[in-house]
Amino acid sequence: MNHFNASRQPMQAQRPNTAPGSAEARKLAEGLMDTMSALLGLIERETELVRAGKVREAMTLKSKKQELSRNYVGAVSQLKASQAQLAKSAPELLSTLHRHHDAFRAMLQVNLTVLATAHAVSESVVRGVNAEIQKRNVPNTYTAAGRRAAPGPRHITPLAVSRSL
């Protein structure tokens, strides 16, 4: 049995190291921070535009935002593979990366809140317009009991909305 273990040890030593080195891990972390910074700047710009009601202009940022998001996801997956190496070789960089990511996440939450608010407002506007249109199309009639009659399906007019700006 000792002979079996002795023969396995050289095999393990010859196995190629798949984990990136310290310099590669540092490069990945710095690349991720650069990507997060670029994406954060774009998200802040989008948030400002949506808050100002410039939705059409904010929509022009979509392709760049998708590209940066893909880069971010790729960088995160690469960094996860080398996290242990980075923790050993550059723990201060890893803690900086965590702080940067926390700020990034907070700004994403603000952006999502602004987008959700804009969505809710636009939905409310469309529902209000629809309610006004339906009021105009429904005849004002009363039942024998003196109550207002509910409109039938033939009196309800569909509302068509173009989703393109």
Burial of 28 (0-12, 13-18, 19+ CB in 10 A): buried
Report yes or no on 115 lying in a domain. yes
Q: Which of 162, 135, 25, 156 is nearest to 80 (CA)?
A: 25
Residues β-bridged to residue 148: 142
pLDDT band, very low/low/confident/very high, at 116 (cuts 50, 70, 90): very high
Cα–Cα distances in Å, from 46 out to 61, 68, 117, 159? Answer: 7, 14, 14, 30
Report yes or no on 9 lying in a domain. no
Taking the whole predicted model, whether its pTM rises above 0.75 is answered as no
Report yes or no on 149 lying in a domain. no
Question: Can you give the CATH number for the domain in which 35 is found?
Answer: 1.20.58
Note whether 89 and 25 are within 8 A (CB).
Answer: yes
Q: pLDDT tens digits, residue range 43-57?
A: 999 999 999 989 889
Report yes or no on 161 lying in a domain. no
Higher pLDDT, 48 or 7: 48
Number of domains composing the chain = 1
